[in-house]
Amino acid sequence: MIEPTPKSRRSFKLEYKIALTYLVIGFLWILFSDKVLDMMEPDDTLLTKFQTYKGSFFILVTTIMLYLLVQRHMKRLGVEEAKRMESERHYRALFNDNLAVILLMDPISGKIEDANQAACNYYGWDYPEMCEKTIFEINTSNKERIRSNLAAIVSGKINHFEFKHRLANGEIRDVEVFTGPIQLGDRTLVYSHINDITEQKIAREIIRKNDERYRNTLDQMIEGCQIIGFDWNYLYLNRAAEIHNKRPNDELMGRKYMDMWPGIESTRVFQLIKQSLEERTSSHFENEFVFPDGSIDWFDLSIQPVPEGVFILSINITERKLQEKQLYESEFRFNNLYESGPFGMVMADADFRFKKVNDAFCNILGYSEEELQQLRFTDVTHPDEIGKDLPNVRRLINREITVYKTEKRYIRKDGQIIWGSLTLTSTYDNEGHFLYNLGIVEDITPRKQAEELLKNSKKLLAETELIGKVGGWEFNIDTFQQTWTDEVYRIHEVDLDFKQDINAGINFYAPTSRPIIEDAVQRVIGLGEPFDLELEIITAKGNLRKVHTIGKPDLENRRVYGFFQDITERKKAEEEIKKLNETLEQRVEDRTLQLRQSNQELEAFSYSVSHDLRAPLRHVIGFSEKLESRLKTMEDPEVNRLTGKIKASAAKMSLLIDELLSYSRYGSTDLTLIPLSLDSMIDEIIREANDLIKGRNIEWNIQPLPSVTADPTLIRLVWQNLILNAIKFTSKKEHATIEIGCQQTSQKEIVFFVKDNGAGFRMSYADKLFGVFQRLHSTEEFEGTGIGLATVRRIINRHNGSVWAEGVENEGATLYFTLPR
């Protein structure tokens, strides 16, 4: 058990203080009290009295002070003793109740002199057993080493060990020993505080392994990791560092930093590493590193002091820097654009209020900048567009989309509606809060109007194409890329997404057409010769179609363009018409031939009939005349009458035959059309009719007539018939009037007429007038065969004219006919 014996320096000091205090007070009292008495200058009796009082007072004060001091000292001695006892107890408790294991041992014998409860618990012996043991039984090290250690402890050289100690149950534990010599009375003992570190050792092993793992991790990191020692030697470099340094780690390891990068001492990075090495500061910065070959990379560097020196973490940010540079440049450009660019630029806040607008935007909308700053975008947007814009702008602000592009209608200040192309993006601060919307607006009104026109004309074209089965095409001379309009695809019977070029187009042509189109295409490309062809194609569905294709060169624009039409139906129709026409012509020809043949036959027939009929008639007449001249001598009047009748009948038959012959003849023979003077013709006819006119009272009223182009023989026959008829039918009138003239009724034809005041006819019979053998009067009344007017109609019809008659019975008739001019 410990008996501490502290030195009482404090009581010595007290005695000294008391003596000194007494000496000082006594001396001061004598000095000052006498001075005070001198200043008062009292008489001698009073002085003696004062001296007495003064001595008494001094004795009183020093006695009180002495008493107080002695009393206080005595009291303090008692307190200190009590304190000492208390402390003794405390130390005892501290030793015994300490949770830490504490041993006291003899440094020579190694015997355990004392042990606390914690030690007994730890080692597993009770207190008496514990005090029987030596340290050599506990410490597993050999004795000699323990002795030397103990000697070192006593000399104060070492105060910390790690040992392995054996417990009562034989278990061996790792312990850490804090130790030192302790003087108890005249003995020097060794005090040991034992701390079990078995668990810590295990933990340390784990930590060591972790360290290794970290090192591996460092090796694998993307960031470059380098450790530079205090002597500036490279201690560690990971793989990324090898890439960042652009030289092998082996080349750097163990070498000095400034030897490897000559000239590095003048750089900021060197200064910061130096500062970190010397002042243990850390820094983080971006550094532009110029390699020995002159190339430049940017690094984000962290420099940290570590026990070995400095740790440098590097990230290559060259790419980011480049982007930043570009961004900076684009921002610079953007500023220019903003101020003076051709595009309208506008900043608007979350309430769609215009914050900032440039001149171009003001010009587009016709407002001033101040006016626009009072407005929201909804105020200048066409009402129909707002429904589309609002949700999209909200999505943009909410970062659901990054950009909103639209073509929309704006309303200008003057009310005019214009089209603008808007590109809208949102800008945020670093925390991701919405700042403003930035819009770029371009006035595309002219383009939109052009588009609208184009759309309309395209629609019209498409409709036209569909109706006309006609399309357009063009191809580029250099690339052979070909464009078709929709109808061209339809004509080829392929879908609109059919991939076609000029060769694919040519392959559609039928084998007979292909060489033609190939030649045409070569010529149009090579010589600029246009083509216009009707060819055949075989469609994708295998149908043969006839097409009309026209190609024209536009060499200036390196293209050929043209027209493509499906003419299958038209061609079919044309061919049908052609076929019909051919058969029709054939039929007409056949018919004409038949007609001609039958006409010729008829003519031959009538000719031979008249010829053959005439001969017997001639003989009847001739021989009856001979007979008459023989019988004259018989003086019989009856002979004359009978032969007269024979001759008259024969003559009438002869006339009949003549007229029948001319009727058949003039209806079928070819016309010889020549210009005729009608005036002379009519004079001649009247002159020839002299026999009939003789003795008659006829008033001729003949207008000058124009010349016509007609067949002279036939027209003469017409006039002859009409004039002789007029003479004939006026024969019963005492005063006959015959009028011949013409009327110009149209540009196409001339109407001629022969008018008389003769027997006339009933208009109800007018249609019978021109029939063959149709007679309105008896032969006794007026001679005639009934063939004359039929012949007239036939001749006039053959001249493409017409014939008609007007008449009043007993008052006269007018015969009209027309001839073309």
Which residues contact another protein (rule: CB under 8 A)? 603, 607-608, 610-611, 614-615, 618-619, 621-623, 626, 661, 665, 669-670
Q: What's the closest the beta carbon of residue 759 comes to another protein, in angstroms?
A: 31
What's the closest the beta carbon of residue 512 comes to another protein, in angstroms? 51
Cα 212 to chain centroid, rounded: 56
Burial class (CB in 10 A: 0-12, 13-18, 19+), 549: buried
207 versus 615: smaller Cβ distance to another protein: 615
Q: Min. distance of Cβ 646 from another protein in angstroms?
A: 15
Closest CB to another protein among 230 and 607?
A: 607
Residue 195: its H or E element: strand 187-196
| Closer of 177 and 795 to another protein (Cβ) | 795
- Nearest residue (CB) to another protein, 545 versus 665: 665
Distance CA 461, CA 455 (A): 10
Give bridge partners of residue 708 from the DSSP assignment. Answer: 676
Q: Which is nearer to another protein, 466 or 615 (CB)?
A: 615
Nearest distance, CB of residue 657 and another protein, angstroms = 8
- Looking at 381-444, list the stretches that DSSP marks H as alpha helix, in order from N- to C-terminal side: 383-397
Cβ 529 vs Cβ 523: under 8 Å: yes
Choice between 272 and 661, CB closer to another protein: 661
d(CA 821, CA 803): 16
What is residue 237's three-state secondary structure?
A: strand
753: nearest Cα among 697, 702, 688, 800: 702
Give me the least distance between CB of 791 and another protein, in Å please: 15
The 3-state DSSP class for residue 6 equals coil
| Shortest separation between residue 618's beta carbon and another protein, angstroms | 5
Between CA 681 and CA 676 the distance in angstroms is 8
Amino acid at 6: P
Contacts of 287 (CB under 8 A, 6+ apart): 268, 269, 298, 299, 300, 301
CA–CA distance, 249 with 450 (Å, rounded to integer): 67
Task: Please state the closest distance from residue 619 (CB atom) to another protein, in A.
Answer: 5
Nearest residue (CB) to another protein, 206 versus 615: 615
Cα atoms in the 13 Å half-sphere on the side-chain side of 165: 24
What DSSP designation does 17 have?
H
Directed axis angle between helix 712-729 and helix 637-666, to 10°? 140
**Alpha-carbon distances, residue 242 vs 218, 237, 250 (angstroms):** 13, 7, 9
Write down the least CB distance from residue 615 to another protein, Å: 6
**What is the nearest approach in angstroms of another protein to the Cβ of residue 634?**
21
Nearer to another protein by Cβ, of 276 and 610: the residue is 610
Q: Find out whether 673 and 798 touch, Cβ atoms under 8 Å.
A: no
Closest CA to 759 of 738, 785, 774, 777: 777
Cα 502–Cα 505–Cα 510 angle in degrees, nearest 5:
135
Nearer to another protein, 208 or 619 (CB): 619
Nearer to another protein among residue 263 and residue 622 (C-beta): 622
Q: What is the nearest approach in angstroms of another protein to the Cβ of residue 622? A: 5
> Are the C-beta atoms of 365 and 374 separated by less than 8 Å?
no
- Site of tokens 């819009």: 439
- To another protein, the closest distance from the beta carbon of 669 in angstroms equals 6
